[in-house]
Amino acid sequence: MKIAVIGATGMVGRTMMKVLEERNFPITEFLPAASERSIGKEVIFKGIPVKVVSVIEAVEARPEFAIFSAGASTSREWAPVFAKNGTVVIDNSSYWRMDKTIPLVVPEINSHVIKKGDRIIANPNCSTIQMVMVLAPLHRKYKIKRLVIATYQSVTGTGVKAVTQMENERSGIKGEMAYPHQIDKNCFPHGGTFQPDGYTTEEQKLLDETRKILEDQTIRVTATVVRIPVVGGHSEAVNIEFEKDFNIEDVIQLLNQFPGVVVYDNPAENKYPMPILAHNRDEVFVGRIRRDLSKDKCLNLWIVSDNIRKGAATNAVQIAEYMAANKLY
């Protein structure tokens, strides 16, 4: 079993390697690939130094799986090349997600959409993954009509440059700016790029990807994405309007039973999800579970997860695990 990680030297790529190690994915040969400036450098995998190779070298090695975290332009160019060579590509970029021919997968929810012969599988956006993990069991029972979402997103979602900007600001150092504004001691309602309708691309992903994963184009979604000065994970305040009524005890039971979701909700003891709790963990935490008192059949939730792990690296590795276990590669 040969595995390539494309973008192995980046923040998500390194976490992908860590997750592959932790989960003991059956690998006989590991191929870390990256841009030209990183070729020949070494990364440590399972305690052993491994040299970074070019993307074309990774293609020629014909790995069973190539897990991509190198940006949309790299995925657009190279995913079809790997696929044509017989490799299954699991792509963490936005490029393939809304292609009708490409499965968009969160394994706990919709692994059934993967078919033998599929050669490109899309990994959803980090904010979408953690949200649909909580929504899926509720949608199946109560049917979601409408979602109102506000996200509070970690700087790690932007990458190393954003983390460095925040750390520099905290230390009083002038350096390269990943954002148009100071992020330390600040927050701004800007994630992705602004579209003509006033929404950002990150907000649009929450609408499009949620509908695709939950296989329901009737769900109405409105979102505001906010960047905040934390590193542990993304947080989301989600208001859900259902077609059917519910009781809170049943909601909690459904969420407790869903794999990968942890109900962390005891306000009397100040227990509620926080990025510092989710950091370096794979679970999706949900709390502040309460009725919306302003409207019937409406529920408020607070959802937190590590956006680099379950929101990116872990979900991608889980897709590979599912395909390997079911001989779908």
Among residues 324, 301, 165, the alpha carbon closest in space to that of 229 is found at 165
Buried (b) or exposed (e) across 273-287, using 16+ Cβ within 10 A? Answer: bbbebbbebbbbbbb
Give the C-alpha separation, 309 to 317, whole Å. 10
* Cβ neighbours, 10 Å, residue 305: 34
Selecting among 112, 139, 187, 234, the annotated active-site residue is 234
Q: What angle do CA 131, 201, 167 make, to 5 degrees?
A: 80
Selecting among 126, 139, 279, 298, the annotated active-site residue is 126
Any catalytic annotation for residue 139? Answer: no
Any catalytic annotation for residue 298? Answer: no
DSSP state of 309: I
Structural element, H or E, at residue 16? helix 11-22
DSSP string, 33-78: E--GGGTT-EEEETTEEEE-B-HHHHHHT--SEEEE-S-HHHHHHH
Give the C-alpha separation, 276 to 234, whole Å. 10
Q: So which residues are the catalytic ones?
A: 126, 234
